[in-house]
Amino acid sequence: MGAPGQGGSQAQGQNLLEDLRAVDIDRYLSLLLMPDHVRDDLATLMLFNAEIAAIRDRIREALPGEIRLQWWHDVVSGGRVGEAEAHPLASRLVELIDRRAMPVAPLAGMCEARVFDLYDDPMPDRGSYEGYAGETASALLQMSVFVLAPGAAGEAATASGHAGVAQAIAGHLMMLPITQKRGQVFIPGDLLAATGLDRDSLLEAGNKDRIDAAIRAFAGLGREHLAKARSAFAELPHGARPAYLPVALAEPVFGRAESLGSRCLETPPRPSQMKRQWRLWRASRGGRI
């Protein structure tokens, strides 16, 4: 099988920042505020994350998506050498892993976790969601810390874990109009049940009051993890802090989602770009993430 995604923007050898801007504007804006000497490496990690997260958008059936994810799993695990060399993003990622002696298990785990995205199975419960977020958003944060401050990676596990869950919830709140049309439900099943809903009744979008409650509860779960992450941030070396800049965008999403409630199914609770840029700048200057 040939390497997937070679026609995408990431695979054309263009400027890394421009590639990232095209696929993940929030992480791009965050990266502009991070130290110059690690930007290319962090952009490579973020582009890898964007690549595997977008596979659902490029397929009609799950099996081709699983094949693509397996290809990336093999690449980060040291396989597919010839194919990886011919794929600009894969070759940059392999070079980064080798040069920095990065642990590959979290990167391989990111690929494994993304298999869930390919199907329409509901998220069973909060524990399952936290595990999924831990292997995706949290893993990316932890690998970013490894690039920024390798010696702090061990200390950062708790902060990355909670911050990643908060960031994932904010992302899924913003994606509600898209996932609703697909028939995907990321709000945990036990949280839905507590508000009198299940997967089907959420997708039918008939009971606005209950959906209001479910969305607010989901945002509340994000706030809980964000609060725990902030407590853990205080223990981290200063050099690790920039890794968490993208997380500064989560709290405004929670606020908008709580205000919009069921209207999030039609209108993403996404603050304006100006507000997002201001929030990131303030966080980069020592403000609260």
Q: Is the pLDDT of residue 6 over 80?
A: no
Radius of gyration of the chain (CA): 18
Give the per-residue pLDDT at 4.
52
pLDDT-derived band at 3 (thresholds 50, 70, 90) equals low
- pLDDT confidence band for 7 (50 / 70 / 90): very low
Q: How many whole angstroms separate alpha carbon 10 and alpha carbon 110?
A: 18
> pTM for the complete prediction?
0.93
What are the pLDDT digits (tens) for 21-66? Answer: 999 999 999 999 999 999 999 999 999 999 999 999 999 899 999 9
> Which part of the chain has CATH 1.10.600.10?
122-289
Q: Over the stretch 163-219, which tens digit does the pLDDT of each residue have? A: 999 999 999 999 999 999 999 999 999 999 999 999 999 999 999 999 999 999 999
Nearest to 280 by CA among 13, 110, 26: 26
Instruction: Tell whether the model's pLDDT for residue 249 goes beyond 80.
Output: yes
Better-scored residue on pLDDT, 140 or 234: 140
Q: What CATH class has 122-289?
A: mainly alpha
Q: What is the mean pLDDT of residues 260-269?
A: 97
The answer to whether residues 289 and 283 touch, using CB atoms and an 8 Å cutoff, is: yes
pLDDT reported for residue 286 = 86
Give dist(CA 119, CA 18) in Å, integer.
30
* Helices first, then strands: H and E counts in the chain: 16, 0
CA-based nearest residue to 245, from 7, 14, 39:
39
Q: Which two tokens stand for residue 26?
A: 């929030």
Report pLDDT digits (tens) over 125-170: 999 999 999 999 999 999 999 999 999 999 999 999 999 999 999 9
pLDDT of residue 117: 97
Please name the helix (run of DSSP H) or strand (run of DSSP E) that holds residue 152, with its range, or none: none
- In contact, 243 and 45? CB cutoff 8 Å: no
